[in-house]
Amino acid sequence: MIIFPAIDLLEGQVVRLEQGRKEARTVYGDDPAAFAKSWKDQGAEALHVVDLDGAFTGRPANLDHVRKIVAAMGNVPVELGGGLRDEETIAAALDTGVTRVILGTKACESIAFVEKVVARFGGAKIAAGIDAKDGKVAVKGWTEKSEHDAIPLARKLEAAGVGLIIYTDISTDGMFTGPNYPALNDLLAAVKVPVIASGGIGTVDHIRKLREIPSLYGAIVGKALYDGKVTLGEIL
């Protein structure tokens, strides 16, 4: 299982949000590339980046920072999500050097669009983010709840050709209470595409329990690292 340290960008700053709420932010610094280099120096095998401005407004606002993050990570792969809702924006994001982009709102709104960008860029470069609360998928930076159920959407996205699914349980995100293991296991049983878990990780035991799930590809760790609940060295 691959551990993905997370860098969330908002107005050029590295932040973490509690349950995705913009007003419940903690700012950790204003040099995202320095954070990236720190994770690399600590042995990170991959990095997860979210442009929160993009998630809230529909268009990324931090691609210059993303470019610097990619440079700081060297040959370590970086994935990017947030506001990637048209082909030109996806192309611009990939031009920063990220390994893959993550579609959230647009993946929920249009399977046809997902099929189109998979055909253009290749499934390996297109991931889908499914952010759910009580089984329902949330969109637009988690500010709106859709009518989509997580598992049927995951199956459709897999059929559309995405190379990977990132599953975030909104109710546990940033709360340190542990991942939603039952929901995660249900999703893993429903699809064959690789899945990355996100949300709720706060202890080494949470990581250990995730590692016991044989089909889980990776886990994203954000606030627990920034708040010193765990260190990257002890969970790699």
Query: What is the per-residue pLDDT across 178-203, written as a single tens digit (0 to 9) for each?
Result: 999 999 999 999 999 999 999 899 99
- Residue 92, both tokens: 């611009």
* DSSP code of residue 171: G
Which amino acid is it at 156? K
Helix (H, G, I), strand (E, B) or coil at 163: coil
Q: Is the pLDDT of residue 28 over 90?
A: yes
pLDDT confidence of residue 24:
81
Quote the CA–CA distance of 70 and 101 in Å, as a whole number. 13
**What is the residue-wise DSSP string for 64-78?**
HHHHHHHHHHTTS-E
What length does the chain have? 236
pLDDT confidence of residue 141:
66
pLDDT confidence of residue 145:
72
Q: Which carries the bigger pLDDT value, residue 128 or residue 23?
A: 128
pLDDT range class, residue 229, cuts 50, 70, 90: very high
Which amino acid is it at 128? A
Q: Which residues are catalytic?
A: 8, 131
Match domain 2-235 to its CATH number in 3.90.1150.10, 3.40.190.10, 3.20.20.70, 3.10.50.40.
Answer: 3.20.20.70
Instruction: Please report which helix (H) or strand (E) contains residue 197, including its range.
Output: strand 195-198
pLDDT confidence of residue 125:
98
Q: Among 45-54, 127-136, 157-166, 167-176, which is the least confidently predicted range?
A: 167-176
pTM, entire model? 0.94
**What is the residue-wise DSSP string for 90-146?**
HHHHHHTT-SEEEE-HHHHH-HHHHHHHHHHH-GGGEEEEEEEETTEEEETTTTEEE
